[in-house]
Amino acid sequence: MSLSKNNIKLITSLQQKKYRQKYKLFVAEGIKVVKELLASNLTVNQVFCTDDSMTFDQEIVVSQITEAELKKISTLKAPNKVLALFEIPENDVPIINDFTVVLDGINDPGNLGTIIRLCDWFGVKNLLCSKNTVDCYNSKVVQATMGSLTRVCISYTDLPEVLKNSDLPKYTADMNGESVYGSILPQKAILVMGNEANGITEEIDSIINNQLTIPRFGDLKETESLNVATATAILLSEFKRR
């Protein structure tokens, strides 16, 4: 079965957030990512594959296409045999009663994808994002999560309102904060990570009552800052190991 013009038009349109929201669909690519998503609770819409010998765990209809056709609909430089469309789930904003990561204005898809994987790795079930954080169903984010997208509940919401209504202690990263290595950290807390260039907004900063810093150990100490995903990894490790 060859790709129809309607298939091509739909799949390529999903590179834009407005069409993902319109059709309630997102694209996943590559054998590992697609199989991870198929094994989850997500609902698959269509699967396209260039390898007729490939098997899938679910009883799904697979459309066989050529490598040339896959290149037409793929966003990858080296497409990896499989592309699938999945329905975007409806996630309600959860009640914050356990350790939660909050993202304020994260713009880079790679950073968001990595943070989603970190949440999965460290057992953080809920990830709250400001409405101006990059869409978690952006194809670059989906690729970067390597399947972790299915194991973390991600919600986009009005962060100040949610944070004000939570009694959990709130932490963020700040160069002038207390060293994370010497801090007594609670099991249940909210960790807020800010925009790559500007940090968290003033409104959210006014709500947070604890600032943590990751000390620099180099002799010159001239490194300006850490990548937000790297900083999140270090902070999550410190919270979880206590």
Written as tens digits, the pLDDT of the chain (242 aa) is 568 899 999 999 999 999 999 999 999 999 999 999 999 999 999 999 998 777 776 678 888 999 999 999 999 988 889 999 999 998 777 788 899 999 999 999 999 999 999 999 999 999 999 999 999 999 999 999 999 999 999 999 999 999 999 999 999 999 889 999 999 999 999 999 999 888 999 999 999 999 999 998 877 666 677 899 999 999 999 999 87
* Contact residues for 62 (Cβ-Cβ < 8 A; gap 6+): 47, 48, 49, 54, 56
Provide the residue type at 61 as one letter. Answer: V
The secondary element (H helix, E strand) that includes residue 176 is strand 170-179
Dump the DSSP string for 62-118: EEE--HHHHHHH--SSS--SEEEEEEPP--PPPP--S-EEEEES---HHHHHHHHHH
Asked if 232 contacts 115 with a C-beta cutoff of 8 angstroms, the reply is yes
- Tell me whether residue 225 is exposed, middle or buried, using C-beta atoms within 10 angstroms of its C-beta: 0 to 12, 13 to 18, 19 or more: middle
Instruction: Please answer whether residues 221 and 159 qualify as being in contact, where contact means their C-beta atoms are separated by less than 8 angstroms.
Output: no
Q: Does domain 5-87 have CATH number 3.30.1330.30?
A: yes
What tokens were used for 201? Answer: 């907004």
pLDDT of residue 211: 96
Q: How far is CA 46 from CA 11, 28, 162, 224, in A?
A: 10, 11, 36, 45
Domain 100-241: CATH superfamily is: SPOUT methyltransferase, trefoil knot domain (3.40.1280.10)
Residue type, 159: L
Question: What letter represents residue 161's amino acid?
Answer: E
Close Cβ partners of 52 (under 8 Å, ≥ 6 residues apart):
64
Q: Is the pTM for the entire model greater than 0.75?
A: yes
For 162-199, the pLDDT digits (tens) are: 999 999 999 999 988 999 999 999 999 999 999 988 89
3-class state of residue 128 by DSSP: strand
Phi then psi dihedrals of residue 235, to 5 deg: -65, -40
Domain extents in the chain: 5-87, 100-241
